[in-house]
Structure 1
Amino acid sequence: MRITTGIVFFLFPFIIYAQNNAQYVNPFIGAINGAGKAGIYHGLGKTFPGATTPFGAVQVSPNTITGGDNGSGYSYEDSTIEGFAFTQMSGVGWFGDLGNFLVMPGTGNIKTWSGKPGDAKAGYRSHYANQQAGAGYYAVQLTDYNIKAEMTAAPHSGMMRFTFPANRQSHISIDLARRVGGTSTEQYVHVVNENTIEGWMKCTPDGGGWGNGDGRANYTVYFYAQFNKPLKDYGTWSASIPDTASRKREAIESDYYQQRIADAKIEKMAEKVQGKHLGFFSSFETKAGEQVLLKCGISFVSVEGARNNLQTELKHWDFDAAKAHAFNSWNRALSKINIKGGTKDERTVFYTALYHTMIDPRNVTDADGYYTGADQQKHRATTFQKRTIFSGWDVFRSQFPLQTLINPAVVNDMIASLVTMADESGNQYLERWELLNAYSGCMLGNPAVVVLADAYGKGINSYDKEKAYRYAVNTCGKFGNGDKGFSSAVSIANTLEYAFADWCLYKLAKETGHYADTLKYLQRSQAYKNIYDSTHHWFRPKKEDGSWEQWPATGRLTDWYGTFETNPYQQGWFVPHDINGMVDMMGGRQAVLSDLDSFFAHTPHDFSWNAYYNHANEPVHHVPYLYNALGQPWKTQYWTRTICSNAYKNDVDGLVGNEDVGQMSAWYVLSAAGLHPLNPAATTYEITSPAFEKIVIALDRHYAKAGSFTVAAKNNSSRNIYIQSATLNGKVYNKSSIDYQDILNGGKLELVMGPQPSLTWGLER
């Protein structure tokens, strides 16, 4: 089913943009778990459809499920909504987090639990219809209550508008304990006056959350919320949770725990309450069509910060004005890339992808400049904005190389945040998967070192450079192949990724003047050769003593054979820093080209989860660009255009794998624009077949000499996908790649397209 009627289009004649790009955003793309459709437990996109702003701290979105492996808290395939939260994660696997301050309007008696998804009448959840979503806006009809719910967002706050039926027992409930993948372990609420409540929710690993607690997320959400209808009949509920009770995901999903929540004690008119599982409600009588509004500031620092965030951003009660402001903020953000050509569906896929790349890393610095550090203390950000949700293993490949082009200040902030976090925590190394200061240790490799090397080489370096380098050294020392020259744990994946990180550190050492370190890390970058088995002509995992693991009957197609979420055939192509060395080791150019051709030939047409080119998972995302380096750029052009056409759709199941915090969409944005790195820490972007006839990239003048760079594809069409010739600023250009600095210098890369491969263009490197 195609979700197009649900997109909301806004037109504001008093604001003029060169292109109204935000009109094409369809937040339903990817907003489904869809494990059945995906053919794998990882599922599909796992995005959320709710309202947010570019890199904002707040995401006001529907939630359909608390537990399970669905980090956004929402899946389009679910038939009921349990409420609308103010914080969400986008496209993550594993057991998710956030989903805090869950608001649910209703009628009738107060219910203290959401109920199970298949039994809405037992709790406060509701069936729904008529979902609508656009940039900065979400709306839905809660059919069990006949209530229309609408929401919009500002960077640190959000506003909800509920249109009620005539009812003497209308109410708004707020579940303060709720958390995706678990529960907050302690809450506090204070009724400040007849329109306002404030308080906090502590989220610790004991309450599950990120990785069901294994992700070590430990944060407090502070809120300051106001109602436009006075609090004259209000109260709290408190569930009796024994001190010995587990608060992990599987415990809170149990019938025993759910019954305790359902039996929670309701207390009327209490001004201040603290407990282990609290909720708040306000009851009132409504007329038919009466609109009741709630607005809330969120902070990860303090109640005062939440209050100031709300008063700074949403002083008023004009929902439509707030919605317009959110929409316009997306129009400004999405103007970083303007495209010409393509169908309406293709433009929708492109701008929704660009939208998804600008959700994270989100800015959690309060409006007053304060943030909570890794030491759990309050700090003032003076030279950067504190950012969070660094899904390193995913996003170093495309997401950050994209942001270095269109949002270099965001990249700078993220690096400064990771360096500051290493400092404040006392750990003095760079975390690979960060969530609200947590050293979760999720996934593998040293992706922060990759992002640092990429940014520094591109002149993005307004952070403590000496500490950044020292912590990068510490990172590769703590996690790496070391003197042994290989890793025995997840042997293939770790050895290859650590070798690449060592190359990145070599590059960083050279560029920062730490010349004494260069030889050491250059030598260590060759460690990939230590796990190549010439007998089986592929990479093979080693044991701790250096002997080979037994070769399985299914060979390099064996899932999890020294790899993570992949097989050796997929993981083995990851030597982006030494393509020539890899090719020589694998038997030469023709042998590698033949193997690559077979790799793609066995890939399903729809790019669903498979044992070959598995676009649903990140480790192969660079592989189509190997053809450029191997002297057959027309195959890069063919496969990237085919992937863009077949693996991305204007549909709820329009992403073949998890969005992974912007990575899946960033691959599309760069590839559809005709530029994508093969080595994500180099300054080089590979040139491929653009999906549109013109792409204009707006450059940041703090970093670039020019205001824009254009990629133009003459005669481009779904048939004319091959580059015949090219010029750069009017001069003949025969390289299949372009340097970052040439892009920053501005101008135009003009490509002439045709229906047949050119065997002569792009052979220079």
Structure 2
Amino acid sequence: MLIKRPRYCTILALVISVLFADAVNAQDAASYINPFIGASSSASAAGIYHGLGKTFPGATTPYGMVQLSPNTITGGDNGSGYSYEHKSIEGFAFTQMSGIGWFGDMGNFLVMPAAGPLKTSAGTLEHPDGGYRSAYLKTTEKASAGYYSVLLSDHQIKAEMTAAAHSGILRFTYPKNSRSRIQIDLARRVGGTSTLQSVKVVNANTIEGWMKCTPEGGGWGNGDGQADYTVYFYAQFSKPLKNFGIWSADIKEGQSRKREDIESAAYQSIVASSAVFKGLRDKEGKHLGFYADFETDANEQVLFKSGISYVSIAGAKKNLLAEIKDWNFDAVRQRAVKSWNTALAKVNIAGGTPEQRTVFYTAMYHTMIDPRIVTDVDGQYFGGDQKAHHPASFRKRTIFSGWDVFRSQMPLQTIINPSLVNDVINSLVTLAAEKNKNYLERWELLNAYSGCMFGNPAVSVITDAYAKGIRNFDVAKAYALSVGSVEKFGNGERGFTPGSNSIALTLEYAYAEWCVSRLAAWLKHPADASKYAARSEDYRNIFDPEKGWFRPRNEDGQWAAWPAAGRLTQWYGTFETNPYQQGWFVPHDVEGMAKLMGGKEKTIADLNQLFEKTPDNMMWNDYYNQANEPVHHVPFLYNRLGNPWLTQKWTREICRRAYRNGVEGLVGNEDVGQMSAWYVLAAAGLHPVCPGDTRQEITSPVFNKVTFRLDPLYAPGRTFTIVAKNNSDKNTYIRSARLNGKVYNKCYIDFKDIAAGGVLELTMSPIPNKSWGIK
């Protein structure tokens, strides 16, 4: 029997089909990824020594251990090892860091195809012909999800690479040559050098070994980051090893090997003069390389693949054999793309321009590089106690860029990937035990307690997770470590932190102590709850009523001298900011902050000035500085101050002006997912002001429809969808809203309502509705 549908149902279905006809197919989201977005460290383009995005364009998989990427530079403030404007490539490394702003690390196991006489040093950007690096044709450089390729023009060799989680495979297409080559620089490391290596020929197609990286060899923070790790490898060649050998540089005892040393002409001369041991099958040394020469016919393809591990050679072998069993490069690439489509399907969008969709999915891609897994396929990981461990309940992860990612990256993951949040907390809590510490590390890299940056970001992540019901970790230990953290790094009984970073430290510590007070209340520790709630008010102790703003105090408690430029003075009591930017960081008590500043109207007027004086390109500046994290919550303060239409206005402006589809498409360092996570949340129409508080601010979505797919183990709802009716680049204001069909007049939503699933429907307008969302 034919059942006739009511006419309004037919019309509604037609409207929906038209409105969302441009929805991204969940099986095709990876096609929007442009890994070149942010792939520059150019200080001149950024207008600041920090440079631009500092991402890498190479092949990786979601949160994978391997990032197989081109490297153009070893030293300097070039954390990813690559910058788009460089004109030569020194090789393709199996590990990279993404978007970091300190002297970098990793860039290990550098593989390079070549031809002709063997060269044992890389050469320099200024004089590439002095080493094995090669010029390349920029027009041939291609990067997409899980894939990178380029033509190396010095010897006309095409290089392609793709990756699995713990392994990678390269395909080199050679011209006809009697002496083609694959060579591996085992000492190479971004920001320094590996200090000890070993390599062994196992059989006619296989080598194995390891590279030990210590602070003596520079690396993270040029050694100040205390990174100390060993990369193990198990690698195979598709062509039999017949003419091979090992080179070894004569590094004298006591030779300094920090970043500036290995960059020097004298050190590179030592490397260039390395002894070459043809046919040697096994060696350990301070600066080793391995090479294999072979004849090639025109367009002959030679492949190279390797598994890596931070535990053992056996682990590296298991990783490779589990993931890349044969030489089918294209199959590995297809699996990598599939893994990205699966990961990106956690957020589906409709509407927006092609450029906006590319920016959005590339932003999601950048949020899914770290914190990466470091467990092998058998579950083992290397702990902070220098022992192998086998966790039963979580996957060990590394690269916790705490000061950056607690603001947007980790809150995003609480929605789309709560199991990752549990993994991160478990990783930090167990690391503290393994290293016999009573506090949580702020910026962790491969078990290092680097001490980088400040505040207590892990405390924020733990509090936010607990508030949202993400609790598959040892809560008692996490709480004890949170208390230990704020006692070690806090304002203490004095009620402020003095010195050159007085404003930044006092404000960040006050927020962290608020977080601990929340945890203490939930976990029935009333004395701690009261103690840390009182300390969370310490931000008041550095507010100078005479100047009407936050001001640093000296050791004796007296105000530091007020500079001529006042609160616009960079580094005046702050870190990488000025007081005007840093002073808004009182996320746990916006109302109290506004009272200090003279009331809501005066605070809003000051916020307006902050945004209105921001340059149109939003590059590094003294006003609203999207290039740096301390202001990332600031646009959403308007919601808290009763002017939500201004949150809507400015978040759309930031999305438009600070994020673009281009190499210089990020106005500052990507910072391990933070810069991109801000965009994902803001473009979707949500963002927190205060992690640890379940209130999520509603703002103007860039897209007509955004659907978050929720994890049923943590959220009872299947999906949460934000629909923006009549959305356009002119209709940027919210006129009205409905939540699950009912009129909704709040400019925020609680996390529990997101987790419950449903639909938030926003009707957009070109004119602000100043009566919506202010209750």
Q: TM-score with structure 2 length normalisation?
A: 0.96
Corresponding residue to 1:91 among 85, 99, 105: 99
Q: Give the alignment of 1:24-423 within 5 angstroms.
A: 24-129=32-137, 130-423=140-433
SS of the residue 1:483 aligns to: helix
Find out whether 1:588 has 2:596 as its counterpart.
Answer: no
In structure 2, the residue matched to 1:463 is 473
Find out whether 1:763 has 2:774 as its counterpart.
Answer: yes
Q: Give yes or no for contact 2:27–2:342 (8 Å, CA) kept in 1.
A: no
Find out whether 1:678 has 2:689 as its counterpart.
Answer: yes
In structure 1, the residue matched to 2:13 is none
Superposition deviation, residue 117 in structure 1: 0.9
Superposition deviation, residue 703 in structure 1: 0.4
- What does the per-residue CA deviation read over 1:20-40, in whole Å, with 9 as the maximum and x for residues that have no partner? 100000000000012111110
Aligned partners of 2:376 and 2:195: how far apart in 1?
Answer: 24
Counterpart code for 1:574: F
Q: Give yes or no for contact 1:223–1:298 (8 Å, CA) kept in 2.
A: yes
Superposition deviation, residue 515 in structure 1: 2.2
In structure 2, the residue matched to 1:536 is 547
Q: Give yes or no for contact 2:26–2:344 (8 Å, CA) kept in 1.
A: no
Aligned partners of 1:619 and 1:179: how far apart in 2?
Answer: 31
In structure 1, the residue matched to 2:450 is 440
Superposition deviation, residue 19 in structure 1: 4.2
Counterpart code for 1:536: K
Aligned partners of 2:740 and 2:147: how far apart in 1?
Answer: 41
In structure 1, the residue matched to 2:610 is 599
Superposition deviation, residue 516 in structure 1: 2.4
Aligned partners of 1:301 and 1:109: how far apart in 2?
Answer: 35
Find out whether 1:654 has 2:659 as its counterpart.
Answer: no
In structure 2, the residue matched to 1:556 is 567
Counterpart code for 1:100: N
Give structure 2 stretches of 5+ with no counterpart: 1-23
In structure 2, the residue matched to 1:709 is 720
Q: Give yes or no for contact 1:19–1:338 (8 Å, CA) kept in 2.
A: no
Aligned partners of 1:567 and 1:618: how far apart in 2?
Answer: 12
Aligned partners of 2:523 and 2:135: how far apart in 1?
Answer: 58
Aligned partners of 1:654 and 1:111: how far apart in 2?
Answer: 36
In structure 2, the residue matched to 1:496 is 507
SS of the residue 2:493 aligns to: coil
SS of the residue 1:333 aligns to: helix
SS of the residue 2:261 aligns to: helix
In structure 2, the residue matched to 1:620 is 631
Counterpart code for 2:623: Y
Superposition deviation, residue 681 in structure 1: 2.1
SS of the residue 1:171 aligns to: strand
SS of the residue 2:654 aligns to: helix
Aligned partners of 1:19 and 1:692: how far apart in 2?
Answer: 19
Aligned partners of 1:19 and 1:583: how far apart in 2?
Answer: 47
Q: Give yes or no for contact 2:54–2:670 (8 Å, CA) kept in 1.
A: yes
Counterpart code for 2:240: P
Superposition deviation, residue 271 in structure 1: 1.2
Superposition deviation, residue 118 in structure 1: 1.7
Aligned partners of 2:292 and 2:554: how far apart in 1?
Answer: 61
In structure 1, the residue matched to 2:707 is 696
Superposition deviation, residue 18 in structure 1: 3.7
Superposition deviation, residue 17 in structure 1: 6.2
Counterpart code for 2:127: D
- What does the per-residue CA deviation read over 1:556-577, in whole Å, with 9 as the maximum and x for residues that have no partner? 0011000000000000000000
CA RMSD between the two structures: 0.8
Aligned partners of 2:229 and 2:753: how far apart in 1?
Answer: 43
Q: Give yes or no for contact 1:34–1:653 (8 Å, CA) kept in 2.
A: no
- What does the per-residue CA deviation read over 1:615-647, in whole Å, with 9 as the maximum and x for residues that have no partner? 000000000001001111110001000000110
Aligned partners of 2:567 and 2:110: how far apart in 1?
Answer: 46
Aligned partners of 1:515 and 1:86: how far apart in 2?
Answer: 50
Number of aligned residue pairs: give it: 749
Find out whether 1:475 has 2:488 as its counterpart.
Answer: no
Find out whether 1:634 has 2:621 as its counterpart.
Answer: no
In structure 1, the residue matched to 2:15 is none
In structure 2, the residue matched to 1:666 is 677
Counterpart code for 2:555: E
Find out whether 1:516 has 2:527 as its counterpart.
Answer: yes
Counterpart code for 1:87: T
Superposition deviation, residue 163 in structure 1: 0.3
Superposition deviation, residue 122 in structure 1: 1.2
After superposing the two structures, state which structure 1 stretch, 672-681 or 61-70, moved more: 672-681
4+ residue segments displaced more than 4 Å: none
Superposition deviation, residue 544 in structure 1: 1.0
Aligned partners of 2:279 and 2:64: how far apart in 1?
Answer: 34
In structure 2, the residue matched to 1:486 is 496
Aligned partners of 1:300 and 1:492: how far apart in 2?
Answer: 39
In structure 1, the residue matched to 2:14 is none
Counterpart code for 1:249: R
In structure 1, the residue matched to 2:5 is none
- What does the per-residue CA deviation read over 1:379-406, in whole Å, with 9 as the maximum and x for residues that have no partner? 0011100000000000000000000000
Aligned partners of 1:99 and 1:494: how far apart in 2?
Answer: 32
Counterpart code for 2:704: E
